[in-house]
Amino acid sequence: MAEFDTDLFVIGGGSGGVRAARIAALHGARVMIAEEYRMGGTCVIRGCVPKKLLVYASHIRHEIEDAAGFGWTIPQVSFDWPTLIANKDKEIARLEAAYTANVEKAGARVLKTRAEFEDAHTLRLATGERVRSKYVLIATGGAPNHGSAIPGIEHVISSNEVFHLPSLPRRILIQGGGYIALEFACIFAGFGSDVTVVYRGDNVLRGFDDDVRAHVRSEMEKEGITILTGCTVKAVDKHGKDFTSHLSNGSSIGSDQVMFAIGRHPNVVNIGLEKAGVGINPSNGGIDVDGFSRTTVPHIYAIGDVTHRLNLTPVAIREGHAFADTVFGKRQIAVDHADVPTAVFCQPEVGTVGLTETQARAQFTHVDIYKSTFRPMKATLSGRDTRMLMKLIVDATSDRVVGCHIVGDDAAEMVQLIGIAVKMKATKADFDATMALHPTAAEELVTMRNPTERHVRQAAE
């Protein structure tokens, strides 16, 4: 009898787990992958993909409003939430099937069940079966935080439920100031809902460049979204179909949905980590891993959101691929987590790569800032009251562009490409040597000639 039933057991069929299972199987390993909910995980089922579809849907209202300035008369429009949700669900089901088919085609076996450690090599399935595996990959992802148990917390939805609301809320209160909170605030505002954002900090998008934070807030407020900072929701009452949220500043806000998007935690509980001897990283609460995603137990690895490093789909995928190459492909690969481009699909959207101004000024002695805010060309005829922000951060000693931050239409698409230049360590002189492409918004990135600010840090005493 073989010592192990399989070479690799993957717990979690999300972005990272599916990629790892597929590549390991293509390297010739015997692979099993367990998924307790739906194949594809957070990104496909209740994250990036359905969210972006809702962003597209809500942005159409802007297009309709902007059309008049270009001579179009659109007599009457209406929007049907159930149609959008049904079409979105159809697409998600298609993707879920494609994920399952691709991993099976590579030779891995998909187990539609929950799995937990019984010991360091044994997995117990919810079906009652036991599987012994030579290697185990933990790819269980993360889940929304609900925060402290305030009175009425049972009335509050998270990003898990928001994709399945039976009707469009006329009024919604969203607590949170991170990217998920802002994206849903803009989605609902686009559909015409009355939106209030409540955030405990002094400004939204903590961790982003301060100019981006200020610009996004002002653009969202221009769209009619109310943003209340420095306060929290203390209690939620329900009366019939309506809710009243009581805030720490003494005010109360009525709505017909209350959503919390106040952060996510890694899925580390109730999977038997202690039985397997897998350690937790005390600094972030995720599974403790080294540069090759290896845990404190040599044959157990962990990737993606459960390690709480950089919680993004492409990062989980890259980590899953690197794991499979390292363990089964005879190619040791450590993922480089520096200069990862990222976006916030609020409206207008944010694209960002590299360091913020604050980070750059802490790291380098001479920092030049190139900043421009301007009215996009389209807004001249549409009449929309909006401005774009573009900001480059340059280490003035080496002339290297170490950060790029954009707020405006297509910012995410631009930053995906600028990300290549930043990763290649392009200098400001390289940007200047690049011919502008006219007329675009992106040309601003290669035509900002003079720094708007120069910062010199005095040597520490």
Ligand X SMILES: Cc1cc2nc3c(=O)[nH]c(=O)nc-3n(C[C@H](O)[C@H](O)[C@H](O)COP(=O)(O)OP(=O)(O)OC[C@H]3O[C@@H](n4cnc5c(N)ncnc54)[C@H](O)[C@@H]3O)c2cc1C
Which residues are annotated as catalytic? Answer: 438
286 scored as a contact of ligand X (CB under 6 A): no
Between CA 431 and CA 415 the distance in angstroms is 14
Distance, in Å, from the CA atom of 145 to the CA atom of 365, rounded to the nearest integer, reads: 39
Amino acid found at 70: F
Residue 35 contacts ligand X per CB under 6 A:
yes
Among residues 179 and 370, whose Cβ is nearest to ligand X?
179
Q: CA 224 → CA 48, 189, 190, 407, distances in Å?
A: 25, 8, 10, 18
Q: What is the dihedral of CA 390, 393, 396, 400, to 10 degrees?
A: -100
Rounded to whole angstroms, the Cα distance separating 286 from 265 reads: 8
The distance of closest approach from Cβ of residue 392 to ligand X in the complex, given in angstroms and rounded to an integer, is 23
139 binds ligand X (CB under 6 A): yes
Give the shortest CB-56-to-ligand X separation in angstroms: 13
Give the binding-site size for ligand X (rule: CB under 6 A): 36
- 315 vs 367, beta carbon nearer ligand X: 315
Q: Which CB atom, from 45 or from 394, has the smaller least distance to ligand X?
A: 45
Q: Does 185 bind ligand X (CB under 6 A)?
A: no
Helix 179-190 × helix 210-222 angle, to 10°:
20
CB of 49 to ligand X, least distance (A): 8
User: What value, to the nearest 5°, has the Cα angle with vertex 6 and ends 269 and 311?
Assistant: 40
Choose one: 87-95, 135-143, 333-341, 366-374; the region binding ligand X (CB under 6 A).
Answer: 135-143
Q: How far is the CB of 244 from ligand X (least distance, A)?
A: 26
Closer of 297 and 446 to ligand X (Cβ): 297
Candidate segments 32-40, 229-237, 244-252, 362-370, binder of ligand X by CB under 6 A: 32-40
Q: Is 313 in the site for ligand X (CB under 6 A)?
A: yes
Rule CB under 6 A: which of 358-417 touch ligand X? none
CB of 139 or CB of 225, closer to ligand X:
139
Measured from the CB atom, is 41 or 329 closer to ligand X?
A: 41
Q: What x/- string results for residues 418 through 457 when contact with ligand X is judged by CB under 6 A?
A: ----------------------------------------
In whole angstroms, give the CA distance from residue 97 to residue 120. 31
Q: Is the peptide bond before 348 cis (omega within 30 degrees of 0)?
A: yes
Of 244-252, 310-318, 330-338, 431-439: span binding ligand X (CB under 6 A)? 310-318
Beta-strand pair 115-117/122-125: antiparallel
Site stretch for ligand X (CB under 6 A), options 23-31, 77-85, 110-118, 443-451: 110-118
The residues, any chain, with a CB within 8 Å of residue 413's CB and separated by 6 or more, are 351
Rounded to an integer, what distance in angstroms lies between the CA atom of residue 141 and that of residue 287?
A: 11
Per-residue x/- mask for ligand X, residues 3 to 22, rule CB under 6 A? Answer: --------xxxxxxx-----
Contact residue for ligand X among 227, 316, 327, 393 (CB under 6 A): 316
Q: Check binding of 51 to ligand X (CB under 6 A).
A: yes
Which residue from 167, 169, 174 is spatially nearest to 253, judged by alpha carbons?
Answer: 174
Q: Of the ranges 37-45, 75-83, 252-260, 332-340, which one interacts with ligand X (CB under 6 A)?
A: 37-45
Q: In the window 260-279, what residues touch ligand X (CB under 6 A)?
A: 267, 271
Query: In the bound complex, what is the minimum distance in angstroms from residue 327's beta carbon to ligand X?
Result: 17
Interface region with ligand X, contact rule CB under 6 A, candidates 56-64, 139-147, 242-250, 325-333: 139-147
Query: 141-170: which residues touch ligand X (CB under 6 A)?
Result: 141-142, 159
Stretch of residues binding ligand X (CB under 6 A), selected from 41-49, 199-207, 208-216, 391-399 = 41-49
The continuous run of DSSP H or E covering 392 comes out as strand 388-395
Structure tokens at 158: 């998270």
Q: For ligand X, which is the closer residue by CB, 138 or 168? A: 138
Could you give the C-alpha distances from 328 to 26, 103, 276, 289, in angstroms and in order?
A: 9, 16, 22, 18
Nearer to ligand X, 43 or 441 (CB): 43
Cβ atoms of 16 and 319 within 8 Å: the answer is yes
Do 218 and 193 form a contact (C-beta atoms < 8 A)?
Answer: no
Say if CB 249 and CB 268 are below 8 A apart: no
| Residue 41 CB, nearest approach to ligand X (Å) | 3
Question: CA 5, CA 17: separation in Å to the nearest integer?
Answer: 19
Closer residue to ligand X in complex, CB, 262/360: 262
DSSP for 98-144, please give it: HHHHHHHHTTPEEE-S-EEESSSSEEEETTS-EEEEEEEEE---EEE
**Cβ-proximal residues to 218 (8 Å cutoff; 6+ apart), any chain:** none
Residues that bind ligand X (CB under 6 A): 11-17, 34-37, 41-43, 47-48, 51, 114-116, 139-142, 159, 180, 267, 271, 304-306, 311-314, 316
